[in-house]
A and B are shown apart, each in its own frame.
Chain A
Amino acid sequence: MTDKKIRVLVAKPGLDGHDRGAKVVARALRDAGMEVIYTGLRQTPEMIAEAALQEDVDVVGLSILSGAHMALAPRILELLKKNGQDQVKVFIGGIIPDEDMPRLKEMGITGIYGPGASTDEIIRDVREAIQP
């Protein structure tokens, strides 16, 4: 499967309007040879799950700066499952307090990145996560 490309959905759920981080990550993943579907600001969990389905992505990257991650992340995971996309790996970038991280991981979030995370690290983790 040499011509299989990693497909990633980069989405921003919730109401904060700062998408610089999401764009930086989208660009970095592109430069790593991945196909990144960028959906823009203010996506509902339903919109994100639907886009993930239609685009048949391997990975969903969420950018959340609003503090609503404990509400948004489980909802998105639940919808992905409902659609039969259990295999999709979900990553979160943004402002996530340390004490929330274990619970997010428990829910099934694969990776969490705060400000100052390196894009190389994200790329490596994405590649590792989707190894069969």
Chain B
Amino acid sequence: MSFTQPLLEGNRLVLARLLTQVENDSPGARDALVELFPHTGRAHLIGVTGAPGTGKSSLVNQLALGYRRKANKKVAIVAVDPSSPFTGGAVLGDRVRMRDLSGDEGVFIRSMAARGSLGGIAQKTASLVQVFDAAGYEIIIIETVGAGQSEVDVARLAHTTIVVEAPGLGDEIQAIKAGILEIADVLVINKADRPGVENTERALRSTLELAHPTQRIFRHHGKTMEVSAPATDRDLWIPLIIKTVATEGKGIDELIEAIAKHAVHLQRSGDRAARDRARLESEMEALLQEALMNRFMEDMPHENYEEILGNVVNRNLSPYEAVKLLMNGTPK
């Protein structure tokens, strides 16, 4: 069965079914991804992440509306929500905030359960994005699960990563920790009509200043402290801060503009090619790992494997020694 032709012609039912197959990693799905791969690489991928309740879904809703109205671009949204660690079930509720997009053929929203992945997106999110890319969606927005501090996988997938903050969510120490703020290409302070927005903005600005990739001199108790610039000849991108009120659509034009600026920067600096390369490399490596593991397990007699595992469970062997033995193909 070939998905390719109807998909490229814009058949939405075929697209929806292929997404399911890809998500379930069915045998047909891999063939389809192979066929579709030459048609990918055209879309601009936008990652939207941030803590639960900062307004990611509402922002995505407005962003998609903006792209439809201003640029008439075809928009796909992949919205990821967590799966239950106990039952594997999930309630995917991001569509509740996206009802404005209903009835527009140029928008396709797909909800996705994380299915045990911990990086903020699902294992198959990148593959779903590839399908949308091949199907001609020009803007693909990936909304992560409500992220804490280290769910940063989306930055590896997206061209432009938007981190959504809201007033009242922590102080400057939160802002200088490693993790989610570091991946932002654009920082959005949503709910900017709330009290405390100035403090949030100040904290984020000072964080960006600390991380500013040029030589800086700080004044501290009348003395100066100098931080030298990292050695780089790359064109530098300094994350933009945009204030929005997503429920009212405020600040969305500015956000779209910021994303466009970032896209230009990616092209000019060569970052887009570098990101694409890194993403494809990690995808290839993941598949290679899986294939090597499968080949290894096929060659390994099941009894040997069980015996070595038993020795590890009995604390007679450390996992390190066990792996050495397994690689030599002989049990102890």
A binds B: yes
Q: Which of A3, A30, A53, A56 contacts B89 (CB 8 A)?
A: A30
Q: How far does the Cβ of B301 sit from chain A's closest Cβ, in whole Å?
A: 25
Q: Taking A53-B12, A56-B19, A83-B13 as contacts, is the C-beta distance between A38 and B95 under 8 angstroms? A: yes
Interface of B is mostly: mixed
Q: Is the CB of A5 within 8 A of B88?
A: yes
Q: Is the CB of A40 within 8 A of B88?
A: no
From 1 to 60 in chain A, residues with beta carbon under 8 angstroms from any chain B beta carbon are: 1, 3-5, 7, 26-27, 29-40, 43-44, 46-47, 50-51, 53-56
Q: Is B328 engaged at the interface, CB distance under 8 Å to the other chain? A: no
A50 contacts which chain B residues (CB < 8 A)?
Answer: 102-103
Q: Which of A32, A44, A56, A83 contacts B87 (CB 8 A)?
A: A32
Point out which of B25, B88, B89, B111 has the most chain A C-beta atoms below 10 A from its C-beta. Answer: B89
Q: Is A84 engaged at the interface, CB distance under 8 Å to the other chain? A: yes
Q: How far, in whole Å, are A33 and B91 apart by their CA atoms in the complex?
A: 10
| Smallest CB gap from B108: residue in A | A54
From 109 to 128 in chain B, residues with beta carbon under 8 angstroms from any chain A beta carbon are: 109-111, 113, 115
Q: Is A85 engaged at the interface, CB distance under 8 Å to the other chain? A: yes
Q: Is the CB of B88 within 8 A of A54?
A: no
Q: Is the CB of B95 within 8 A of A30?
A: no
A44 contacts which chain B residues (CB < 8 A)?
Answer: 102
Q: How far, in whole Å, are A47 and B113 apart by their CA atoms in the complex?
A: 21
Q: Is B90 engaged at the interface, CB distance under 8 Å to the other chain? A: yes
Q: How far, in whole Å, are A33 and B103 apart by their CA atoms in the complex?
A: 30
Q: Which of B26, B95, B113 contacts A35 (CB 8 A)?
A: B113
Q: Which of A26, A30, A37, A55 contacts B16 (CB 8 A)?
A: A55
Q: Is B20 engaged at the interface, CB distance under 8 Å to the other chain? A: yes
B99 contacts which chain A residues (CB < 8 A)?
Answer: 39-40, 43, 47
Q: Taking A35-B92, A36-B89 as contacts, is the C-beta distance between A3 and B16 under 8 angstroms? A: no
B88 contacts which chain A residues (CB < 8 A)?
Answer: 5, 33
B102 contacts which chain A residues (CB < 8 A)?
Answer: 44, 46-47, 50-51
Q: How far does the Cβ of A42 sit from chain B's closest Cβ, in whole Å?
A: 8
Q: Which of A3, A32, A38 contacts B92 (CB 8 A)?
A: A38
| Smallest CB gap from A50: residue in B | B102
Point out which of B12, B13, B83, B102 has the most chain A C-beta atoms below 10 A from its C-beta. Answer: B102
Q: How far, in whole Å, are A34 and B92 apart by their CA atoms in the complex?
A: 11
From 17 to 59 in chain B, residues with beta carbon under 8 angstroms from any chain A beta carbon are: 17, 19-20, 24-26
Q: How far, in whole Å, are A54 and B112 apart by their CA atoms in the complex?
A: 11
Q: Is the CB of A54 within 8 A of B92?
A: no
Q: How far does the Cβ of A88 sit from chain B's closest Cβ, in whole Å?
A: 11
Q: Is B270 engaged at the interface, CB distance under 8 Å to the other chain? A: no
Q: Is B71 engaged at the interface, CB distance under 8 Å to the other chain? A: no
Q: How far does the Cβ of B64 sit from chain A's closest Cβ, in whole Å?
A: 13
Q: Is B173 engaged at the interface, CB distance under 8 Å to the other chain? A: no
Q: Is the CB of B13 within 8 A of A84?
A: yes
B20 contacts which chain A residues (CB < 8 A)?
Answer: 7, 56
| Smallest CB gap from A47: residue in B | B102
Q: Is the CB of B110 within 8 A of A3?
A: no
B24 contacts which chain A residues (CB < 8 A)?
Answer: 1, 3-5
Q: Is B178 engaged at the interface, CB distance under 8 Å to the other chain? A: no
Q: Is the CB of A55 within 8 A of B84?
A: no
Q: Which of A3, A33, A37, A55 contacts B25 (CB 8 A)?
A: A3
| Smallest CB gap from A3: residue in B | B24
Q: Is the CB of A53 within 8 A of B87?
A: no
Q: How far, in whole Å, are A47 and B102 apart by their CA atoms in the complex?
A: 6
Q: Is B96 engaged at the interface, CB distance under 8 Å to the other chain? A: yes
B87 contacts which chain A residues (CB < 8 A)?
Answer: 30-33
The chain B residues found within 8 Å of chain A, CB to CB, are 12-13, 16-17, 19-20, 24-26, 83-84, 87-93, 95-96, 99, 102-103, 108-111, 113, 115
A-B contact sample (12 more), CB < 8 A, given A30-B89, A40-B99:
A31-B84, A35-B83, A35-B89, A35-B92, A35-B113, A37-B95, A37-B111, A38-B95, A50-B103, A54-B108, A56-B20, A84-B13
CB<8 Å pairs between A and B, sample of 14 = A3-B24, A3-B25, A26-B91, A30-B89, A31-B84, A31-B87, A35-B90, A35-B113, A37-B92, A37-B95, A46-B103, A50-B102, A53-B13, A56-B17
